[in-house]
Amino acid sequence: MSTNVTLMPERAAAQRGDPPQGVQSSGPPVLRRVATYFSKPQNGLLLVLGIVLTISTLAPLVSILIDTVTVHPGSIDSDRTGLMSGYTLFNWTDLFDRSTSTKEKLFDQNFLDPTVNTVLMSVFSCVFAIIYGGFFAYLVTRTNLKFKKYLSTIFIFPYMMPQWTLAVVWQNLFKSAAVGGGSDGLLAAVFGIHTPQWFYEGLFPSSVVLGLHYSAFSYILIGAIFRNMDANLEEAAVILNTPKWKVFSRITLPMITPAIMSTVLLVFSSSMGSFPVPHYLKFSTLTTRYVEMSVNRQGQAGILAVEMMVFGIIMLVASQLTTSGRKSYTTVTGKSGQTQEVNLGAIGRWLIAAIFVVLTLFTSLYPMLAFALETFLPNPGDYSFLTGGGWGSLTTKWWLTSENLSESGMYGQLGVLYNTTIWKGFAGQFWVAAMAALAAGTIGTLVGYCVAKNRRSRWANFVNNMAFLPYLMPSLAVGVAFFIFGSSMGIFNTFLLLIIAGTIKYIPFASRASLNSMLQLSNEIEESAIIQDIPWWKRMLRIIVPIQKSSIISGYMLPFMTALREMTLFMLLCSQTKIITTELNYFDEMGLYAFSSAINLMLIVTILICNAVVNKLTGASLDKGIGGN
């Protein structure tokens, strides 16, 4: 039996892609096709966005390549070649020269060791994030674990905090003067526990801290699949008496493999571009080595930035390969139903929950308490007063010094509450975050809309890749690119450069959130408005935006909260006192560690308040739908 459906002429034309009424179709065929193509606003927007994103993404990358062959007065390339300007291949030949033992040592120190260290740190961070976050996702979604709502909410706190937060806390907790010199950490000072140096400096703590910070990726991505997995799949295997290990390896693991691959791509690229974590934990990586080499070997440091960008491109290709195909699974037998929760036992469900309560307290609440305590210590980082019962030695001078600039240890600075440098930096950071979020959110929303409307177009796929590429680029490499670009354009150390860099770097947040939501919209929703000749801008404001309000708001809030705690991207683009995150190094170099702790505390509290306000107003939450409800 067949049924013939007759479409209204206007709707039939809309589905064929014909121009709406009023668009002239006379003239040569080429012009008619062009007129038809651009009669759809999304096509014109896609062309403009593609050109803008290509230039803004690729131009800084090209500038880095040019910088590696440019002579830098005062740098080693100028000294060795005798040139004061022009171009030379000296930086490339000298960095990779291993002709003598001295040259080989420099090659290892400046290139090989940082590269190996960075790859190892990124790989171990991925492994830790997947195991820790994935196991927690399984417990929350598939077992009868206690305190799910609380644990699900607090588990993502480390990601919302600045990534160096746990690095500083790790040092203050585990450092041992008997092993590495300096002052004792909390465990050594109070309990006499002296950890080995590898435990609080180097590869191990850097990998663990980054793994803890990015385990939220694993939890959210893997947890979403666990939550929505078809119950038929595992029930069919149980009915067929399949062993549990085979059910996991043949059914469960293949289902979560896409989430695991996405986590690997995100964590690897993010860890590779991290500067503050290896910096605080004294581990030589490409980012820390770049900062050290940029003083006297600027051109060779640029080669390290190029290397980081090559890794980013590899990540983009890997992302395309892992998401280019889809696998489907069909049950042989079984019945529909909800997946039954695994029973952890009367004791197990409480014991495991208690373990995670302790772990999350350490990674989420303890950092705030530790930073607050640091701001009242006479000598920040020195906890020896705890063993002598000297709570009376705590001081408020780091907060309340308002006039006496000769106060011991203040180095002429006013207390935090009266320090205009800190508050100007905080206002500057807030302004940059707000403007970058506004620009990135708007552009990302338009990119998602246009790509969704042209999902089968190669140009749309290219624009989508250009929008996502900056996220896979290590943050320091992007910062280097915009440092060179901004210096050549005369906008170095301006809020404009910071906003441009933040916009390009954070467009992927908004574009992916927008694209995923726009793909869920049926074309009929907008076609009905087209038939009634409603303008495009009114269709967006009155139809599209209200329907996808939550996703669009997330596309604005994620860039805002990320830029509010960003250091690596901005550290090369402005002076140390321009914004509050770069002021951390400024006060650390002065020895005012209490000020650094106060800044960390301010950032954490501000981010948590902003996140709570957004959740209250919009109901949006990172863990909602997994275990947070």
Domain ranges of the chain: 431-578
Phi and psi torsions of 324, nearest 5°: -75, -25
pLDDT digits (tens, 9 = 90+) for 560-591: 988 998 999 999 999 999 999 999 889 988 88
Tokens 């206002």 sit on residue: 427
- Contacts for 178 with CB less than 8 Å, ≥ 6 apart: 184, 188, 194
Closest residue by Cα to residue 185 from 174, 196, 197: 174
Helix axes 148-155, 348-360, angle to 10 degrees: 30
Looking at domain 431-578, which CATH architecture does it have?
A: Orthogonal Bundle (1.10)
Going by pLDDT thresholds of 50, 70 and 90, the confidence category of residue 193 is: confident
Going by pLDDT thresholds of 50, 70 and 90, the confidence category of residue 336 is: very low
* pLDDT over 60 at 15, yes or no: no
Backbone region of residue 337 per phi and psi (left: phi > 0; alpha: psi in -120 to 50; beta: other values): left
Tell whether pTM > 0.75. yes
Query: What is the rounded average pLDDT of the residues 489-517?
Result: 88
C-alpha distances out from residue 184 to 112, 192, 380, 425, Å: 33, 9, 11, 31
Going by pLDDT thresholds of 50, 70 and 90, the confidence category of residue 440 is: very high
pLDDT digits (tens, 9 = 90+) for 546-555: 877 777 887 8
> When comparing pLDDT for 281 and 259, which is higher?
281
Going by pLDDT thresholds of 50, 70 and 90, the confidence category of residue 3 is: very low
What are the tokens at 231? 């119950």
The helix (run of H) or strand (run of E) holding residue 467 is helix 458-472
pLDDT digits (tens, 9 = 90+) for 365-421: 899 898 998 898 888 877 766 666 566 678 888 998 877 666 667 788 889 999 999
Percent of the chain with pLDDT over 90: 30
pLDDT digits (tens, 9 = 90+) for 133-180: 999 998 998 888 999 888 988 898 888 888 889 998 998 889 888 776
Angstrom distance (rounded) from CA 245 to CA 225: 19
Tokens 């939501």 sit on residue: 517
pLDDT digits (tens, 9 = 90+) for 45-71: 889 998 998 888 888 788 889 999 999
Angstrom distance (rounded) from CA 562 to CA 554: 12
Helical segments of 473-569, H only: 475-489, 495-518, 523-531, 536-539, 545-547, 549-564
Position 142 scores a pLDDT of 83
Going by pLDDT thresholds of 50, 70 and 90, the confidence category of residue 629 is: very low
Range picked from 106-120, 155-169, 260-274, 372-386 for highest mean pLDDT: 106-120
Contact 448, 510 (CB under 8 A): yes
Percent of the chain with pLDDT over 70: 86
Position 387 scores a pLDDT of 63
Buried b (16+ CB within 10 A) or exposed e, 269-306: bbbbbbbbbbbbbebbbbbbbbbebbeebbbbbbbbbb
